[in-house]
């Protein structure tokens, strides 16, 4: 009955009718597949009579972006669902609630967040989200602190981290973020107009050395349970609410990778602003707001993380004076380095961001691409010297 096969709309409806306390057999349900369809199916199922709705996300056994030739483990559906359950608990509901799941069918039934918008689309439309930095700063502090050795005893932490070995999805990151942009690769994807930039990425061995160090950290440091793909397309927002979705890349890795991912995406939107505004004044106002968001996000993360450490740290050695300061300082350096890697891969690598790619004016688009690469390189090259969030902001502001 539940042997794996991709669902169609009728099967999705039949499946959710069996979930206790949601729909009745008689309800008249409407189903739409709303996924962007590269790796997963996402069904939105609603009952117009009762205004009840639900999401069913089902993993596909391959990445569609390159046909069916790129196989991907279905176990990532379990990993995504278990990560959602842990993050829901640790973040007091900043992720969708899981209602049901089926490991065989690689599917998760979860809370419908359709009253939110995907943050990337909101930012492109020029919206501001006043509570976002605070919410995400707290989300990061709670999910990273409570899944690390600071809060778990080493036995529990190792038992937990074993459930999140995510080789296929980590391999995507290892290749697409930490390798392909620095070499000739079929996975790279950029216009001929910036070939000079791509060539300089391939030839800059100082840059390669720093990327190799960051890649090593991604491969070897099981510091905390990461979301693993925390870009603005994985965040739903309203003026009052922030919800994180899609943790299928979750694994035990370096904390700065998640923080860097979200900061990278704010910077990618920042460099795109001239393509989205008519006046220099409007551009500057948006840029200032985005940089303030980066600053507030880090500051919220740091203060929440230090508070959790001071109240809930379990590891006796972690109480050693000075250790917390060094620990936080290293998270910031990692954050800056990983942010740089994330920016570069979105310009020359396989997957891009709509913030830049949908700019209509070709000259402004190319200027945004070049500025992103310049900032990305500076963040990577300088990450081991960064000692405050202001250092990061200065690099972004002074790089043209």
Annotated binding site for substrate: 229, 345
Contact residue for ligand ADP among 13, 16, 45, 55 (CB under 6 A): 55
- How many of the other CB atoms lie within 10 Å of CB of 176? 17
**Cα dihedral 329, 295, 170, 202 sign:** negative
Core vs surface per residue 238-271: b (16+ CB within 10 A) or e? eeebbbbbbbbbbbbbbbbbbbbbbbbbbbbbbb
Q: Which is nearer to ligand ADP, 200 or 358 (CB)?
A: 358
What DSSP line would sit under 275-339, residue for residue?
GT-SSHHHHHHHHHHHHHHHHHHHHHHHHHHHHHHHHH---GGGGSTTHHHHHHHHHHHHHHHHH
Of residues 179 through 238, those in contact with ligand ADP by CB under 6 A are 234
Contacting range for ligand ADP; rule: CB under 6 A; set: 110-118, 178-186, 206-214, 311-319: 110-118
Asked if residue 34 binds ligand ADP (CB under 6 A), the reply is: yes
CB within 8 Å of 236: residues ≥ 6 apart: 113, 116, 117, 118, 119, 242, 243, 244, 245
Nearest distance from residue 80's CB to ligand ADP, in Å? 8
Nearest-10 Cα torsion for 172, 352, 271, 232: -70
**Does 35 engage in binding with ligand ADP (CB under 6 A)?**
yes
Q: How far is the CB of 115 from ligand ADP (least distance, A)?
A: 9
114 makes contact with ligand ADP (CB under 6 A) = yes
DSSP H or E segment with residue 182: none
- CB of 233 closer than 8 Å to CB of 214: no
- The contacts of residue 169 (CB under 8 Å, 6+ apart) are 72, 76, 79, 228, 248, 249, 251
What is the closest distance, in whole angstroms, from the C-beta atom of residue 229 to Mg ion in the complex? 6
Q: At 14, phi and psi to the nearest 5?
A: -60, -40
Contact predicate 231/345, CB 8 Å: no
Least gap, CB of 330 to ligand ADP (angstroms): 30
Map residues 82-101 to x or -, x wherever contact with ligand ADP holds by CB under 6 A.
--------------x-----
Nearest distance from C-beta of residue 338 to Mg ion, angstroms: 18
Interface stretch with Mg ion, choices 18-26, 30-38, 96-104, 153-161 (CB under 5 A): 30-38
Q: Which residues contact 186 (CB under 8 A, 6 or more apart)?
A: none
Candidate segments 36-44, 301-309, 332-340, 383-391, binder of ligand ADP by CB under 6 A: 36-44
CA–CA separation, 15 vs 3, rounded Å?
13
The whole-angstrom separation of Cα 239 and Cα 117 is 10
> In angstroms, how far apart are the furthest CA atoms of the chain?
65
Looking at the Cβ atoms of 53 and 333, the one nearer to ligand ADP is 53
* Contact code string over 213-252 relative to Mg ion, x by CB under 5 A: ---------------------------------x-x----
Identify the CA nearest to 8 among candidates 55, 41, 53: 41
- Residue 36 interacts with Mg ion (CB under 5 A): yes or no: yes
The contact pattern for ligand ADP, residues 115-144, with x = CB under 6 A and - = no contact, is: ---x--------------------------
Q: Please identify which residue in 11, 33, 112, 174 interacts with ligand ADP, judged by CB under 6 A.
A: 112
* CB closer to Mg ion, 38 vs 189: 38
Q: Of the two residues 111 and 197, which places its CB atom closer to ligand ADP in the complex?
A: 111
Using the structure block, give the residue that is written with the tokens 């690769």. Answer: 185
Shortest CB 39 distance to ligand ADP, Å = 5
Would you count residue 355 as binding ligand ADP (CB under 6 A)?
A: no
Would you state the structure tokens that stand for residue 287, as one six-digit string?
């840029």
**Nearest distance from C-beta of residue 120 to Mg ion, angstroms:** 10
Binding site for Mg ion (CB under 5 A): 36, 38, 246, 248
| Site for ligand ADP, rule CB under 6 A | 34-36, 38-40, 42, 55, 57, 96, 110-114, 118, 234, 245-246, 248
């Amino acid at each position: 009955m539940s042997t794996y096969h991709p669902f169609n709309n009728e099967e999705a409806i039949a499946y959710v009718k069996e979930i206790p306390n949601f729909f009745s057999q008689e309800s008249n349900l409407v189903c739409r597949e709303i996924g962007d369809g590269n790796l997963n199916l996402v069904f939105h199922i609603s009952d117009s009579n009762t205004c009840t709705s639900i999401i069913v996300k089902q993993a596909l056994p391959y990445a569609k972006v390159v046909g069916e030739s790129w196989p991907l483990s279905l176990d990532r559906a379990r990993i995504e669902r278990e990560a959602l359950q842990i993050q829901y608990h640790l973040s007091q509901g900043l992720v969708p609630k899981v209602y049901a799941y089926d490991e065989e069918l690689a599917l998760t039934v979860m809370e419908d967040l359709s009253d939110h918008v995907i943050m990337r689309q909101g930012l492109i439309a020029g919206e501001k989200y006043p509570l976002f930095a605070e919410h995400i700063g707290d989300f990061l502090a709670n999910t990273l602190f409570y899944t690390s050795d600071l809060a778990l005893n080493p036995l529990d932490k190792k038992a937990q981290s074993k459930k999140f070995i995510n080789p296929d999805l980590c391999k995507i990151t290892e290749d697409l973020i930490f390798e392909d942009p620095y070499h000739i690769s079929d996975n790279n994807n950029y216009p001929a107009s910036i070939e000079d930039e791509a060539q300089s990425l391939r030839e800059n061995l100082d840059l390669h050395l720093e990327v190799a160090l960051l890649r090593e950290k991604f491969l070897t440091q099981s510091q905390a349970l990461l979301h693993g793909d925390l870009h603005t397309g994985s965040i739903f927002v309203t003026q009052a609410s922030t919800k994180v979705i899609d943790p299928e890349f979750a694994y035990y890795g370096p904390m700065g990778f998640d923080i860097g991912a979200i900061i990278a995406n704010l910077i990618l939107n920042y460099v795109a602003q001239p393509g989205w505004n008519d006046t220099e004044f409007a551009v500057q106002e948006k840029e200032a707001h985005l940089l303030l968001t980066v600053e507030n996000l880090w500051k919220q993360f740091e203060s929440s993380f230090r508070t959790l450490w001071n109240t809930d740290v379990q590891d006796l050695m972690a109480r050693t004076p000075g250790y917390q300061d060094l620990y936080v300082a290293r998270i910031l350096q990692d954050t800056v380095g990983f942010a740089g890697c994330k920016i570069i891969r979105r310009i020359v690598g396989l997957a891009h961001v709509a913030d830049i790619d949908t700019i209509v004016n070709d000259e402004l688009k190319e200027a945004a691409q070049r500025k992103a690469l310049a900032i990305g390189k500076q963040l990577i090259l300088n990450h081991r010297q960064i000692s405050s969030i202001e250092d990061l902001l200065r690099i972004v502001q002074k790089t043209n």
